[in-house]
Amino acid sequence: MILKIRVDDLLRTTLATPSRDLVTRTTGAAIRLRIERAIADAPCPTTLLDFQEVGVLDFSCADEVVAKLLLLIEDEHYVVLHGVDETQAEAIDHVLSHQDLAIAIVPRAGGRQVLGRSTPDLLAAFEAVHAFGSGSPDRLADRLGWSVERTADALQTLALRRLILAANGTFSPLPLQ
């Protein structure tokens, strides 16, 4: 089950003067609090934040909404961003990299992407899990042409960063839609 939250709806109902822009720390903190409450109230392990109708996202707000949310939510909860545009992705990538955090997104232009702290191995393993589906390190190692140790290391790191799901030695993609 996925909890879907339209960030533009939160903006509309949080600000005194409606705006499409996610700017300022004050606004970011208010929006994050509403997301935290929605997550606490819903029995879903994954939350999808929809940025499709959001305009400007500045660095301060990216820090308040995305980075702080990742730091505050429980370890078993997953967050995916949807409909993120090029400049929003830049802001999110910057603030997450600065704090050793990462998140999976579906860009507005389509596809999938990891923003924040990552390595070429992590990005390749993330792509493999999403392209080939769930599997053990053995299976994905074959697909990637890597050793099992290298594959397992990358998959475990992705799981620790909440970029993929892990259960009983099987690694699965996050529901990105």
Using CB under 8 A, list all residues that contact other proteins. 15-17, 19-21, 23-27, 55-60, 63-64, 67-68, 85-87, 90-91, 94-95, 98-99
Q: How far is the CB of 86 from other proteins (least distance, A)?
A: 5
By beta-carbon proximity to other proteins, the closer residue of 58 and 154 is 58
Q: Which residue has the tokens 């839609």?
A: 177
By beta-carbon proximity to other proteins, the closer residue of 47 and 60 is 60
Q: How far is the CB of 15 from other proteins (least distance, A)?
A: 7
CA nearest 155: which of 123, 116, 113, 114? 123
Q: How far is the CB of 139 from other proteins (least distance, A)?
A: 37
By beta-carbon proximity to other proteins, the closer residue of 17 and 177 is 17
Q: How far is the CB of 161 from other proteins (least distance, A)?
A: 17
**92-101: long-range contacts, CB 8 A cutoff, minimum separation 24:** 92/57, 92/62, 92/66, 92/116, 94/59, 94/62, 95/59, 95/62, 95/63, 95/66, 95/67, 96/66, 96/67, 96/70, 99/67, 99/71, 101/67, 101/70, 101/71, 101/161
By beta-carbon proximity to other proteins, the closer residue of 50 and 93 is 93
